Amino acid sequence: MSNVIRAAAIASMITIAFGLAAKGQNLSSIPPDRRTAWRPGVGGLSGSGIPNRTASCTMQCATLTPLGAGLDDTARIQACIDDHTLCPDDSVLNLAAGTFTVSDGNFILLNRPLTLRGAGPAATIIQRTDGAHPDTEAPA
């Protein structure tokens, strides 16, 4: 296939993709129950909305590892978030590679300046047993 034909084929695919997006077609490969709205600048931050924090939590909250086997990790994560001594404001709670489970009816409330940082998008997963519920808030 010549470069001209390849370029024309790529241009056609891009045109089709933009046309579908303009018509409101969703081109995402992320399943609907895993999507959420990205709101840069949340909390009055400017720029990307993700602060560059380097100080890590300490002791048993330095790096959490998932319990595994579908066991609920919610209480352990929330305990670190709530402990201002082990995880002071503006620090990082590191989540090791693996799958952390948040069971049905539970939620993680991150209500202060703290960053949850995983080992990477394909390495650290926080899963809900009943799927994600975008645009919903935890009960008050």
Does 42 fall in a domain? no
Does 36 fall in a domain? no
Question: Does one domain contain both 60 and 26?
Answer: no
pLDDT for 140 equals 59
Spans in the chain with pLDDT lower than 50: 44-45
Per the structure, the count of domains in the chain is 2
Question: Does one domain contain both 126 and 57?
Answer: yes
Question: Does one domain contain both 4 and 66?
Answer: no
Question: Does one domain contain both 76 and 109?
Answer: yes
Does 139 fall in a domain? no
Question: Does one domain contain both 6 and 60?
Answer: no
Does 101 fall in a domain? yes
Does 38 fall in a domain? no
pLDDT for 51 equals 77
Does 123 fall in a domain? yes
pLDDT for 60 equals 92
Question: Does one domain contain both 123 and 73?
Answer: yes
pLDDT for 35 equals 72
Question: Does one domain contain both 63 and 129?
Answer: yes
Question: Does one domain contain both 20 and 60?
Answer: no
Question: Does one domain contain both 72 and 104?
Answer: yes
Q: How far apart are CA 32 and CA 132, in angstroms?
A: 9
Taking only Cα atoms into account, the Rg of the chain, rounded to an integer number of angstroms, comes to 20
- The tens digit of pLDDT for each residue in 107-122 reads 999 999 999 999 998 8
What is the model's pTM?
Answer: 0.63
**Whole-number Cα distances in Å, 81 to 4, 37, 92, 113, 134:** 56, 23, 10, 10, 22
Residue range(s) defining the domain that contains residue 119: 53-133
Q: How far apart are CA 2 and CA 126, in angstroms?
A: 46
Q: How far apart are CA 1 and CA 32, in angstroms?
A: 37
Does 24 fall in a domain? yes
Does 14 fall in a domain? yes
